[in-house]
Amino acid sequence: MRASVSLWSADQLALGAAVDALDGHVDGFHLDVMDGHFAPDLLFGPATVQAVAARARRSLVDVHLVLEDADRWIAPFAGAGAGMLTVYPECCADPAATLAEIARRGVRAGIALSLEADIEAAAPLVERADRVLVMGTAAGIKGVDPAPETAARVRRAAALGAREVFVDGGIREHTIGALAAAGADGVVPGSLVFGRADWLEGVRLVGAA
């Protein structure tokens, strides 16, 4: 499996060091953008994305819009250098149009499916997305295992013909095997990487799953 590492779990005073150390060793750098409404936290704006994009030469800048009005932020984050923008359908006026607008700007388009989302009902959007991000936990929650039904949801998303399926939330050494077996192409690890002295060891654990 591939790893798009969550910079939320990195030392916030040393994001540049994290990017320098992992660039080219990971699939991407995952930046959660939170507005304090859709998720109970505030995190990362266009300026941070721009700084990471200027530093990352070989890994995707993977921006996850965890906010209520995703449409308003497509242009600012695309302009800041996002290589992928992932949105929740419930946060877009017209999700299909939002995915098309992201693609029009030359950015890969992702769709995030929350714990409550009906996987099969999202089929028309899955077909339009470059990546389906299956959430294993509620948005903005850290430090817990994924919901028990996460692996089954991954299988269902893959069965719909998703180009690639990643899982975000609850990524632990003891959970990645089941996600890989269910058909996940990658995960968004946070503490699995940044919670150990050797960050690359965490990346290798994902790659070996």
| Sequence spans of domains, the chain | 2-208
pLDDT at 168 over 90: yes
**SS3 call for 35:** strand
E strand map for 94-189: 108-113, 131-135, 165-168, 186-188
Mean pLDDT, to the nearest integer, of 41-54?
97
16-23 CB contacts, 8 Å cutoff, 24+ apart: 16/51, 16/55, 18/194, 18/199, 19/52, 19/55, 19/56, 20/55, 21/199, 21/200, 22/59, 22/193, 22/199, 22/200, 22/203, 23/55, 23/56, 23/57, 23/58, 23/59
Mean pLDDT, to the nearest integer, of 80-96?
98
Tens digit of each residue's pLDDT (9 = 90 or more) over 132-147: 999 999 988 888 899 9
User: Hey, which residues are catalytic here?
Assistant: 32, 168
What superfamily would CATH give domain 2-208? Aldolase class I (3.20.20.70)
> How far is Cα 196 from Cα 96, in angstroms, rounded to an integer?
40
Share of residues in the chain with pLDDT > 70 (%): 100
**SS3 call for 166:** strand
pTM score: 0.97
- The pLDDT value given to residue 109: 98
Strands 42-43, 28-35: pairing kind: antiparallel
